[in-house]
Amino acid sequence: MKKDLTLSSLLLFFACSAGFSQTPDSTAMKFAPVITAEDAKKHLSVLASDEYEGRETGKEGQKKAAKYIADDFKKIGLVSATDETYLQKFPLVLSTPAGADLVIGGKKYENNKDFYVLPYGKPLTMEAKRILFLGYGISDAKYDDYKNTDVKDKVLLVIGGEPISEDSVSFISGKKELSDWTNSYRKKSDLAKEKGAAALIVINENFAGNLELMKHFLASPSLKLEPDTSKEKTVGPVPAEKDQKKKLPQVGISVKTANEIIAPENLDALIKKIRSTKQSVSFEIKSSFELAVSSKEDKIYSENVLGIIKGTEHPEEVVFITAHYDHLGVRDGKVFNGADDDGSGTVGVMEIANAFEKAKETGSAPKRTLVFMTVAGEEKGLLGSSYYTNNPIFPIEKTVCDLNIDMIGRTDDHYKDTVDYVYIIGSDKISTELHKINEHANSTYTHLKLDYKYNDPNDPNRFYFRSDHYNFAKKGVPIIFYFNGTHEDYHQETDEVSKINFDILAKRAQLVFYTAWEVANRKDRIVTDVVQEKEKK
């Protein structure tokens, strides 16, 4: 609620001084229609075809997509921001899981058969002389396993889920519906980490089923930037992301394995005891614990694609229009084409670039420089944009804003009856002027419903932190994130070109075009004026 106070007073002020002309800009209106559904479809039908293999960062399909975009930038007349390739190359470390050893009380268990370890990023070895059985590993008003127990540096063994009564009523929720202690896979490990535990072993009643579900995930390599800049401090006046805690090593085991570890105790008996007394049960197990996780590391490269149109009056001031062109690749032989995520944003950027270039060719070049950048590594943790903002080609101080497009070709469940909407996220967080410009562009030209539902950084979906604009915001650059919301095909192999609504894609891209047009051509550079209180940890 702190945001509203600051903002409403600022909005009042700017309502009188934003300085928009009353008449629509006829030049902008002449070139916005260069952005067409047909053109967008032509490009997307290539980029989101099986031939591009789901454009996974570092893989062949991604490089092919980079080439396609770079060739198009060149063809339409954009100038490269780097060399003749239009690419900004960046180094990554690819870590491939190479096995894990678990020995408890002298008995060796087999990885991905008797146990699994949740990805911990780095290789790891740890040892402990004892294991602490700690009930369900829950700390709640109605039931608390941590009460009067010091878990610091200990390896905890806990039962998955939460305690329930004979008639299936949760001790925590007081209803049949289970709480987040069951539903969130992170809640217990976050708490254990917070309490200073060294590792968490979770007893999994449906161990075999879960192992099957996670098979792909457990074998997946992870990517990070080299050097890793993801922990970079926020410098801009921007809501700071809550500290993403380093994850605790978490081992999943079956009931059978658990019974071997806790013998002569027995899990069923312990659950019954907790059920009848409504009290936690905890005890020390005099078994040693050894865990070793290894991975193979390779250095690879990926690429951002950049094309520019130089400004005529303030060429040093740059306006970014971005989208990520990478997606999830191929899994179990299925190509994840990512037509909406974020093929739609990628072709949106290409179309907007084309419209500005056509305007330039007929004597209406922008006053400020426009940078069209499609980035890779987004799906792996916003890596391409993190690399760019930490290795900028144009000074960050001269970067006017980033208009980022991530998914604009579909509609979500909320908008079943109307497609003429777009979610706007972050527009008011750094520059009130930018927010007003976007609203004015929409009310003058595109007439979409601008939905601010996800604009709150505290929204549980955390969309504000989940696409590439965030790396610009972290540096204090004003941003807008254009988004259609998630849908049933989000991050599924069914995110296909056939499901894209190209008319609405083009219309949303036109809104970005009009906003960019105003930002690039107005007399004065937009100012940064909103200073946010840092989010509480």
CB nearer to Zn ion: give 327 or 436.
Answer: 327
C-beta separation of 82 from 72 below 8 A: no
Nearest CA to 252 out of 209, 195, 295, 294 is that of 209
CB nearer to Zn ion: give 341 or 433.
Answer: 341
CB nearer to Zn ion: give 341 or 351.
Answer: 341
Residue 162 sits at φ, ψ, to 5 deg, of -145, 160
Nearest CA to 287 out of 269, 260, 255 is that of 260
To Zn ion, the closest distance from the beta carbon of 351 in angstroms equals 20
| Euclidean distance between CA atoms 249 and 342, whole angstroms | 32
To Zn ion, the closest distance from the beta carbon of 456 in angstroms equals 21
To Zn ion, the closest distance from the beta carbon of 357 in angstroms equals 28
CB nearer to Zn ion: give 72 or 341.
Answer: 341
CB nearer to Zn ion: give 341 or 518.
Answer: 341
| Euclidean distance between CA atoms 376 and 20, whole angstroms | 36
| Euclidean distance between CA atoms 500 and 502, whole angstroms | 6
Beta-strand (E) ranges in 105-240? 107-109, 115-117, 124-128, 131-134, 155-159, 199-203, 222-225
To Zn ion, the closest distance from the beta carbon of 187 in angstroms equals 24
Q: Which residue(s) pair with 374 in the sheet? A: 305, 323
To Zn ion, the closest distance from the beta carbon of 324 in angstroms equals 8
To Zn ion, the closest distance from the beta carbon of 23 in angstroms equals 40
To Zn ion, the closest distance from the beta carbon of 88 in angstroms equals 21
- Nearest position to Zn ion, beta carbon: 341
CB nearer to Zn ion: give 14 or 490.
Answer: 490
CB nearer to Zn ion: give 86 or 481.
Answer: 481
C-beta separation of 159 from 267 below 8 A: yes
CB nearer to Zn ion: give 56 or 341.
Answer: 341
To Zn ion, the closest distance from the beta carbon of 520 in angstroms equals 28
- Name residues whose C-beta falls within 8 Å of residue 360's C-beta, 6 or more positions apart in sequence: 77, 309, 366
CB nearer to Zn ion: give 341 or 451.
Answer: 341
To Zn ion, the closest distance from the beta carbon of 379 in angstroms equals 5
CB nearer to Zn ion: give 279 or 492.
Answer: 492
**Residues within the interface to Zn ion (CB under 5 A):** 341
Q: Which helix (H) or strand (E) holds 66?
A: helix 60-76
To Zn ion, the closest distance from the beta carbon of 461 in angstroms equals 13
Query: How far, in whole angstroms, is CA 8 from its chain's centroid?
Result: 29
Beta-strand (E) ranges in 83-141? 87-104, 107-109, 115-117, 124-128, 131-134
Mapped onto helix, strand or coil, the DSSP state of residue 443 is helix
Copy the structure tokens of residue 225: 């930037």
C-beta separation of 405 from 416 below 8 A: no
| Euclidean distance between CA atoms 443 and 449, whole angstroms | 9
